[in-house]
Amino acid sequence: MRIALFEDGAAGSFGPLVLLRPVFELVCGRFSLRERLFRRLRPTAWGAFVRPDLAEVCRQAHPEAPVNNVDWLVDEPVLLINGRWLPSAGPLGPFAADEIGIVDEGIAWLTLDPLEASLVEPGDVEDGLNRLARTRRPVRAGGRLVARPWEIVEANGPQLAEDFRESPPQANASGRVARELRSEPRPQVEILGPPANVWLDPTADIEPYVVLDAREGPVSIGPRARVQSFTRIEGPCHIDRESQLFRANIRSGTTIGPVCRVGGEVEASILHGWVNKYHDGFLGHAYVCPWTNLGALTTNSDLKSDYSPVRVPLFGEPIDTGLTKVGCYIGDHTKTALGSLFNTGSSIGVMCLVLPGGELLPRHIPSFSCIWHGELSDHWPLERSLETARAAMSRRGCELSSAEERLLRRVYEATRRERDHALRRRSTGEPSQAAPGVARA
C-alpha cells in the first residue's frame, strides 16, 4: 500500500506548534500522528503534501518521501490520508476505491486512482479532494480530526493507554526482540498497580527510590532514559529515549519526547522532544515544542480561579476552548528566564525570549518577540536568535541546517503582521489578553 499524507486548510489552526512542522508531525500519545499511521498501515511507500514553506525541511527530514510531487501519484493507486486524523483503536480499512472516509464532515482518507492525479494541485490539495468526494460514497472513518492544540493535549492520556495496549514487541539493546512489551521490576523501584502496566527498556537507568504508579494507566520508559531517585511517575505516561528526569513529579497524561531534561511537576502535557525543563516549576495541560528552554521556576496556570472556560489567543485571536483545564502552547526555540509565570491559556510563538517582570506574562507572545520586565518588544534581533539556536543545538550534538534557517527566516516575515499588531495593542493601552479571569495552577 502506498499512502500520501496531506495538510488541509485546518492544518494551520494549531498556532505556533506547526509553524516549523507539518501537522502530522505533532505528537499525541507515544507517537506522532504520522508514526502511528505508519505503524498500523505498514505502507510500502509514502509521500506528503504540505504547506509550501515546509516542503524543503520535510524533504530533508524524509529524503525517501516525495513531497508536493503530483507526478508520484500517477504510477499506481495511493491512499490519501488527512494529517490531522487520529484514528480509533482497531483495524484500519478496508479503504474501498469507491468510498471516502469522513469524520464530522471532514475528509479523513480517500483512495486516489492514477487517472485522477491531475485533479490534485500541490498548493491546494483540499480543493481537488472536495471535487473527488462527490464521486465517492461517504463512510464513517472513526476516530477524530484534531483541529486545535488543546484537542491533541486532551486526547493524549487516552491515546497513551491505547498505544501501550497496541504496541508490538520491541528490540532490546542486543537486538533481540522481547516476547512481550513488559519488563521485570528494578531493585528498590516501587510499582503501584499491575506490573504488566509497566514497561522499562533494558537500557533505561532507573535509580532506587523511584515510584511508578500504574494504577490508573500504563507507564513506559524508553531506551537509555535516566530516571533519578525520588522521581514519581503516574500513568498513563511515556518517557522516550535518552530523556532524563531529575527528582520530578510526572502526573498522568504526560508524554516526554526524546532527549528532554525534566524536573519539577508536569501534568497532562506533551513535551515534543529536545525540551529542557531541568528545574522546579509547574507545567500543566501544555504542549512544548523542541529546543525550548524553560528557566528555573517557570510555571504556567492551567485553571482559572472562577473555573470558567478558557480562551486561547492563537496568533492573537482569542478562541474559546470550551475547556476549564488549559495550559500553554510554546513554539520552537523559545527561552524563558528565572520565575516566568504564564497565565491560563497562553500562546507563545517561535523564538521568543521571555524575561519576567514579577507578574503574569501576556497570554499572547508573538513569534520572534521578547518580554523585557513585563513589556512586549521586538528588539531581540533575528540574527541573535539564530546564533542562540545554533548554540543550543550544538550542546546536544545537533546542527541548525540551512533549510531550517531559511524556514525560520520565512516564518519571521510571515509573522511580522501578528507581531506589529500585538506591539501596537500594547503601546496604545488596549486590554491585554491576560486581563480576563485570574489564573491558578
Cell numbers 471532514: residue? 106
* pLDDT (mean) for 386-400: 95
Contact 228, 208 (CB under 8 A): no
pLDDT attached to residue 441? 55
Query: How many CA within 13 A on the CB side of residue 111?
Result: 17
Amino acid at 179: R
Q: Is the peptide bond before 114 cis (omega within 30 degrees of 0)?
A: no
Alpha helices in 20-89 (DSSP H): 33-41, 55-61
Distance (Å, whole) CA 183 – CA 172? 11
Per cent of the chain over pLDDT 70 is 93
Least confident of 28-32, 69-73, 251-255: 69-73
pTM here is: 0.93
The SS3 of residue 72 is helix
pLDDT in tens, 431-441: 544 434 445 55
**Residue that is written with C-alpha cell 479503504 in the block:** 95
**373 pLDDT exceeds 80?**
no
- State the fold for domain 153-167+181-440: UDP N-Acetylglucosamine Acyltransferase; domain 1 (2.160.10)
Nearest to 111 by CA among 139, 91, 143, 142: 139
What's residue 184's pLDDT?
61
Q: Per DSSP, which regions of 241-348 are E strands?
A: 244-250, 254-256, 261-267, 270-271, 276-277, 282-284, 287-288, 293-294, 299-300, 303-304, 311-314, 317-320, 328-330, 335-336, 341-342, 346-348
**Residue 429, pLDDT score:** 65
The CATH number of domain 2-147, selected from 3.90.550.10, 3.40.50.720, 3.40.50.2000, 3.40.190.10? 3.90.550.10
Please tell me the distance from the alpha carbon of residue 296 to that of residue 292, in angstroms, as a whole number. 13
Q: What is the band of 327 on the pLDDT scale with cuts at 50, 70, 90?
A: very high
* pLDDT at residue 268 is higher than 70: yes
- pLDDT digit string (tens) for 194-225? 999 999 999 999 999 999 999 999 999 999 99
**Greater model confidence, 396 or 186:** 396
Cell matching residue 253? 497524561
Q: What is the pLDDT of residues 24-53, one digit of tens each?
A: 999 999 999 999 999 999 999 999 999 999
Reported as a single tens digit per residue, the pLDDT across 87-128 is 998 889 899 999 999 999 899 999 999 999 988 887 788 888
**Residue 294 grid cell:** 524553560
Locate the domains of the chain by residue range: 2-147, 153-167+181-440
Answer yes or no: same fold for 2-147 and 153-167+181-440.
Answer: no
Cell numbers for 192: 503501584
d(CA 367, CA 352): 6
* Predicted confidence (pLDDT) per residue in 128-156, tens digit: 898 999 999 999 999 999 999 999 999 99
Average model confidence (pLDDT) for the chain?
91
Write down the pLDDT at residue 438: 44
The CA–CA distances, whole Å, from 132 to 80, 121, 136 equal 12, 13, 7
CB under 8 Å to 57, separation ≥6 — which residues?
20, 21, 401, 403, 404, 407
**DSSP strand pairing (353-355 vs 244-250):** unpaired
